[in-house]
Amino acid sequence: MKRVIFAASCILALCSLLLVGTGTVKAPEPGYTRTDYNPNVTPTIDGKWTSNDEWALNGEVTAIGNDLSFRSVWIIVSMDPITVTDTFLVEFFSDTTNDTDDYWQLCIDGDQSGGTAPQTTDYRIDIVGHTTLKLYQGTGTGWTEITPDPADIIWNNTLSASPTNSTAHWILEMTIYKAELGAGPTWNFRLAAYDKTTGKLVAWPPTPRDEPGRWGVQNYVSGVVPESFSLGVVVLLSSVAIAVSFYFLRKRPKTQSSSSAKTGKITYTR
């Protein structure tokens, strides 16, 4: 009988942790919640579909009309210390031109604190002209540019055809080291892309860039896309231990010290 009670207690504990880890998700912008899965095929960050199956079964596809689609996968790249990355594929179908003013943009509210202006725990990645990455950190009222650690953001983009569209279009692949940018197991973001030629600025969600409280939610589960409810339960439960471990062991995000802000030298607390 004691074993039954013990087992029941464990299940209850797991279920309550499950709610902490994956269930109770803040949804700043209604309708903009998506789910991250593990990859079927580990992506190669070369800015294109490296093979026809590279992204075919990788993650949930989110489309912005016919202009853009993106998907993402999360990967544990190290267990000691636990290190988690998130890798995106973004295809901007309606941008077929190489302009110096084109940009990709990812705004990150890693602790889901929301707000009406970027906080110091928020980051913004701009990739401008398909060549130059800039990293910004929130100030409480706006953004200040900081020096990125190249190891934290791996990216590549090309003007290529793909299995999803035979007309050459801009494709971005980007891996972020989540903890280095303050992102927990679930995190909020806004993804945008701009084409200078057409003047199209598309974004998910289509809300103000500088209003974290209106960005979307990136939930996650362990495993590839579940095929049945029962499988879903299994992968959700298995994600609990990872979620708890990751939450407690994740590195602190970068912060720029007040003294370094004056000198322009960036120091990080990790």
- Decide if residue 267 touches Ca ion (CB under 5 A): no
C-beta of 173: minimal distance to Ca ion in Å? Answer: 5
Q: Which of 93, 57, 260, 56 is nearest to 171 (CA)?
A: 93
Distance CA(241)–CA(236), nearest Å, equals 10
Q: Do residues 102 and 199 make contact, with C-beta atoms less than 8 angstroms apart?
A: no
- Decide if residue 211 touches Ca ion (CB under 5 A): no
- Decide if residue 33 touches Ca ion (CB under 5 A): no
φ/ψ region of 75 (left if φ > 0, alpha if ψ in -120 to 50, else beta) reads beta
- What are the φ/ψ torsions at residue 49 (nearest 5 degrees)? -70, 105
- From the CB of residue 233, how many other CB atoms can be counted at a distance below 10 Å? 12
Selected from 60, 99, 149, 211, the binder of Ca ion by CB under 5 A is 99
- Decide if residue 269 touches Ca ion (CB under 5 A): no
Distance CA(265)–CA(185), nearest Å, equals 30
Selected from 102, 109, 122, 210, the binder of Ca ion by CB under 5 A is 102
Segment 37 to 56, residues that bind Ca ion, using CB under 5 A: 44, 46, 50
End-to-end CA distance of the chain: 47
- Decide if residue 97 touches Ca ion (CB under 5 A): yes
Selected from 36, 86, 91, 95, the binder of Ca ion by CB under 5 A is 95
- Which is closer to Ca ion, CB of 88 or CB of 123? 88
- Decide if residue 167 touches Ca ion (CB under 5 A): no
Distance CA(232)–CA(197), nearest Å, equals 44
String marking each residue 230-259 x if it binds Ca ion according to CB under 5 A: ------------------------------
C-beta of 57: minimal distance to Ca ion in Å? Answer: 14
- Binding residues for Ca ion (CB under 5 A): 44, 46, 50, 95, 97, 99, 102, 195, 197
